[in-house]
A and B are shown apart, each in its own frame.
Chain A
Amino acid sequence: KAGVTQTPRYLIKTRGQQVTLSCSPISGHRSVSWYQQTPGQGLQFLFEYFSETQRNKGNFPGRFSGRQFSNSRSEMNVSTLELGDSALYLCASSYLSGTGGYEQYFGPGTRLTVT
């Protein structure tokens, strides 16, 4: 079974621009979560989607948004980029069935650099 894929792997953007990152979960997985990883703040939860619905959102400004499609693929968007948005963005997928399927499998990440 193919793992979680994220595209692009590397991205360089300028302050003020916007960016869209994509995540394809493991086949059959319906939950997708996004995390931001920086040296200063560590791993922080951004949001989680399940069956095209956002179930949970972390403490990030409204510039960070996401969505999930009917095939469970997810995108996250960051508008009006700031230097502090430079980070590794990790996507994780999970099967989730009741209280089971709790393991999250991570993709390789997208390294975003804002200049």
Chain B
Amino acid sequence: AQTVTQSQPEMSVQEAETVTLSCTYDTSESDYYLFWYKQPPSRQMILVIRQEAYKQQNATENRFSVNFQKAAKSFSLKISDSQLGDAAMYFCAYRRLNSNSGYALNFGKGTSLLVTP
């Protein structure tokens, strides 16, 4: 089974600064998807960014970017120019590329991000 580990239960960043959230995963598969989801206090899970393992280029979405290190099985999220609205729980998730038995997301335990003025 694939496991996802987020080693930072809590992180803090000042407004306008940059913060990096860590995620490592364990898999024997060569192709898969990785995601970062954001869960604000409203509890609504919001997709932040996705990465296909077969793509070498790191994904970027506005102020959010990832550092995908396939060999190291590492998938960190960088948030630039942090805003108060970025405060939330962030979950790293893994999904198989292709499976007849479904496409369940395996989530890490999450990192709580606090943004201070």
* Chain B residues with a Cβ closer than 8 Å to the other chain, count: 25
Q: Tell me whether B47 and A33 are in contact (CB under 8 A).
A: no
Q: Tell me whether B110 and A108 are in contact (CB under 8 A).
A: no
Q: Which residues of B contact A99 (CB under 8 A)?
A: 97-98
When C-beta atoms are compared, the residue in chain A nearest to B98 turns out to be: A99
Instruction: Say whether A112 faces chain B, with CB atoms less than 8 Å apart.
Output: no
Q: Beyond A33-B105, A55-B102, A56-B102, is A106–B110 a contact (Cβ under 8 Å)?
A: no
Q: In A56-93, which residues have CB < 8 Å from any B CB?
A: 56, 58, 88, 90, 92
Q: Which residues of A contact B107 (CB under 8 A)?
A: 35, 42-43
How far is B101's CA from A48's CA once the two chains are assembled, in angstroms? 9
Q: Which residues of B contact A58 (CB under 8 A)?
A: 104
Instruction: Say whether A114 faces chain B, with CB atoms less than 8 Å apart.
Output: no
Q: In A15-35, which residues have CB < 8 Å from any B CB?
A: 31, 33, 35
Question: Which stretch (B19-27, B38-46, B59-67, B70-78) binds chain A?
Answer: B38-46
Residues of A within 8 A of B (CB): 31, 33, 35, 42-43, 45, 48, 50, 55-56, 58, 88, 90, 92, 94, 96, 99, 102-109, 111
Given A42-B110, A48-B103, 5 more pairs with CB closer than 8 A: A33-B103, A33-B105, A99-B98, A107-B44, A109-B44
